[in-house]
Structure 1
Amino acid sequence: MPVKRSASVAALPPAGRRARARLCLRLAAPLSFLLLLATLLRAQPSAPPATAAAPPFEGPAKAAFLFIVRAGVPLDFLWDAFFRNGEEGKFSVYVHSAPGFQLDSATTGSPYFYGRQLARSVKVAWGEATMVEAERMLFAAALQDPANQRFVLLSDSCVPLYNFSYIYTYLMASPKSFVDSFTDKTEKRYNPNMSPAIRKDKWRKGSQMVVTKTLLGQKPNAKKASREEHDCIPDEHYVQTLFSIKGLEDELERRTLTYTSWDQSSDPKDKMTWHPKKFEYDTSSPEHVSAIKSIDHVNYEMESRTEWCQCNGTSVPCFLFARKFSNSAAMHLLEQGVVGLVKAAG
């Protein structure tokens, strides 16, 4: 997801592989805690006293954009144009950055990011449980605003493929959450020692997501790498497995809204097998962008399932966002007017 992947597991020394294997076991404890929390929440009376009810919000529902970045927001110029073409009061911005990093006029060119870093953050490393912790911090912060009704997780290389109005309407039209969640029968990340807290038939994998507030209240092809031990990447399993265990998959559109083009290396030992391709200026032309926008279904070979992309029963393009875009590629999108006309700061 948001943090660049390191070399393949096969390149790690034995001690490193064992440490990565233990990550799967560490998933069981936080998952069990959240399951207990979700159970307690559901056990509350259906009609609590007025004093215990969540405060109502006035005005339009908001889409909360949740960024996980290393420090600054490298594509802030594109997101600035996106938000500038949006409607004030219909979105909010939250950024998880390195501890102590401040977003201000010295570190970002977009006022939409000023002071939007979380007050508390952790140092995030790819493949570590800190990625899950960062996501939880972002959700917790965004839930403080009762107007936030949709929550979009984004990495520092993500870009919007449409203007704000289109994306907002798309998100709000569906009562379901968009969570990429599937069973990969060819991979070996499941560790039997996680049972019974996490049964193998409930183990799921996925990528970036858009979640509804209702679901939070309840609490494309990645190639298999050659390895001898269980290699667990927490953020690709945590939320998906939690929803599976709680029987909430009927409340999901089981697909991601973020397009990724994975490296097609034929060598399974090639470390690049695990990396999404980076879009550069010459691979982000109008033709390339149109090709992504024209995708209307996703094939999940591991489940023999084809997911036709719909929003509240209506056929729609599958992807609203894409990654992994370089600065020059994002600038190309800006020049094309993908997110709308470039407006001067008012």
Structure 2
Amino acid sequence: MTKKSPPIAARHVIWFGWKLVIILSVALCVVALLKLHSQSDLSSSPSIIRVRSRRPSRDIIFSGPPKIAFLFLVRRSLPLDFLWGSFFENADAGSFSIYIHSAPGFVFDDSNTKSHFFYGRQLRNSIQVAWGESSMIQAERLLLGEALEDPANQRFVLLSDSCVPLYNFSYIYNYLMASPRSFVDSFLDAKEGRYNPKMSPKIPKNKWRKGSQWIALVRDHAEVIVDDEIIFPVFKKLCKRRPLLDASKGKMNAKLQKQHNCIPDEHYVQTLLAMSGLEGELERRTVTYTSWNLSATKMETKGWHPTTFTYANSGPEKIKEIKSINHVYYETEYRTEWCRSNSTSVPCFLFARKFSQGAAMRLLGEGVVSRFSASALLDPPP
């Protein structure tokens, strides 16, 4: 018996039904993909960075005086330990903590440091650090992470192995504790060559900031840096140091010099805090003074390099000059940052770099570290 074909109208209805099912299925897939993509974009939104939940140990309420965590980022040893030892001798032991990021495996003891304050204060999980690479900011994050384990640490100061204090401990303690803000040198980086367009959209160009590596943070901001899981990976992947000119590479130098010369330690903290909506909680300046000179070598183009203070050029008049600075001008933003702590006019700088051993010996011999009173912070602003 021959099977009859369905009428033409019925076949059209069936075919139309199948087309409608296929179209609806595709539309649902597209909607699902768009929703997933929007959620992904939200989690990495460039306006406000989300951070993972804090570890419970950081939320313990502490009792007693708040402490300053002094975070030393050093190559190996601390050549100015004798000066810092004198500085800490005049401090209440319950008012500070010391953490050192040194070369992996280096242990501070009586064989390599003149001050007992540094014995065993090195991180056990330190990494090998290279200037101009992401390892520098990773070392900073390690220091902050270790210091955050002590709930009493409420201020965090990053220092190099060539930094010196310009005042005694009580002055510096009162200065930092009096301000509810972090001190982070941060300004718009208008020059081309450091921002990598591939960082967008996670790091938009209008949030790209530059500033001094040497920061002083309140606890909340230190936690933002340690908890960051979005911006640091971008820096690690795309923020590279441009190689130096190498005569043996000939024409290849031109290609190498087109790479973005990022210098992560001058951009990471500033950009992260800007993207986290925290610039309004900052004193956008550093409390560590650096003298810059324009210089050049055979292997690199002209650039600003920090001056090293020696015994000869670190006399009382120079130190007095540094202490008299009360504002910083930022050309890219046409902004003058007047130096204040808790609305009180104060000197801009508490520390200075880069000081040789001879310069540090002169500071100690002339009593620069111990001749100043914290009562100056109580004076009304001029």
Please state which band the TM-score falls in when normalised by the shorter chain.
Answer: 0.7 to 0.9
Letter of the 1:199 partner, please give it: P
Residue 80 of structure 1 corresponds to 85
Could you tell me how far apart the structure 2 residues matched to 1:286 and 1:327 are?
16
**Shift of residue 59 of structure 1?**
1.2
Alignment of 1:18-29 (within 5 A): none
User: Matched residues in 2 for 1:123 and 1:330: separation?
Assistant: 27
- Which of 94, 102, 112 lines up with 2:107 in the alignment? 102
What residue number does 1:41 align with? Answer: 53
Tell me the amino acid that sits aligned with residue 218 of structure 2.
T
2:306 pairs with 1:276: yes
Which whole-Å CA distance do the structure 2 matches of 1:240 and 1:228 have between them?
Answer: 24
1:189 is the counterpart of 2:201: no
Change (3 A) 1:332 1:272: farther
| Identity between Structure 1 and Structure 2 (%) | 59
In structure 2, distance between residues paired with 1:159 and 1:151:
16
The amino acid across from 2:137 in the alignment is: V
Aligned residue for 1:307? Answer: 337
- Aligned position for 2:276: 246
For the Cα contact (< 8 Å) 1:75–1:157, is it kept in 2? Answer: yes
Superposition map of 1:247-262 within 5 A: 247-262=277-292
SS of aligned partner of 1:274: strand
> Could you tell me which residue of structure 2 aligns to residue 213 of structure 1?
219
CA contact (8 A) 2:165 2:369 kept: yes
Q: Which amino acid aligns with 1:217?
A: E
Structure 2 CA distance for partners of 1:285 and 1:53, relative to 1, 3 Å? closer
Deviation at 1:41, TM superposition (A): 3.4
- Provide the secondary structure at the position in 1 that maps to 2:146: helix
Change (3 A) 1:134 1:34: farther
Distance 2:191 2:164 in 1: 31
The change in CA–CA distance for 1:118 and 1:36 in structure 2 (over 3 A counts) is farther
Contact 1:127 1:232 in 2 (8 A): yes
Contact 2:81 2:115 in 1 (8 A): yes
Structure 1 residue 266 displacement after superposition: 8.9
Deviation for aligned residue 1:33? 12
The TM-score normalised by the length of structure 1 is: 0.81
Q: How far 1:296 moved relative to its partner? A: 0.2
1:41 aligned counterpart, secondary structure:
coil
Say whether residues 1:331 and 2:361 are aligned partners: yes
What is the Cα deviation at residue 58 of structure 1? 1.7
Partner of 2:123: 118
Does the aligned pair in 1 maintain the 2:327–2:348 contact within 8 Å? yes
Amino acid at match of 1:327: Q
Letter in 2 for 1:312: N
CA contact under 8 A between 2:162 and 2:355: conserved in structure 1? yes
CA distance in structure 1 between the aligned counterparts of 2:317 and 2:365, rounded to whole angstroms? 14
Q: CA deviation at 1:270?
A: 6.2
Which whole-Å deviations, capped at 9, do the CAs of 1:111-154 have from their partners, x for residues lacking one?
Answer: 00000000110011100111011001000000010000000000
Distance 1:286 1:83 in 2: 22
In the TM superposition, residue 228 of structure 1 has moved relative to its aligned partner by 3.8
Task: Tell me the residue number matched to 1:294.
Answer: 324
* Paired position in structure 2 for 1:24: none
How has the CA–CA distance of structure 1 residues 186 and 269 changed in structure 2, closer, same or farther, with 3 Å as cutoff? farther
Q: Given that residues 164 and 353 in structure 2 are in contact (C-alpha distance below 8 angstroms), is that contact kept between their aligned partners in structure 1?
A: yes
Please tell me the residue identity of whatever aligns with 1:81.
Answer: S
Number of matched residues? 299
| 2:172 corresponds to which of 157, 167, 176 | 167
Segments of structure 1 that go 5 or more residues without pairing to the other structure are: 1-30, 45-50, 220-224, 342-346
User: What does the per-residue CA deviation read over 1:4-40, in whole Å, with 9 as the maximum and x for residues that have no partner?
Assistant: xxxxxxxxxxxxxxxxxxxxxxxxxxx9699998444
Counterpart amino acid of 2:168? N
Structure 1 position 320 matched with structure 2 position 332: no
- Structure 2: gaps (5+ residues): 1-42, 226-243, 246-256, 372-382
User: What's the secondary structure of 1:281's corresponding residue?
Assistant: coil
Identify the structure with bigger relative contact order (alpha carbons < 8 Å, sequence gap 6+). 1
Q: Which amino acid aligns with 2:280?
A: D
Aligned partner letter, 2:275: I
Q: Structure 1 residues 91, 32: CA separation in 2 closer, same or farther (over 3 Å shift)? A: farther
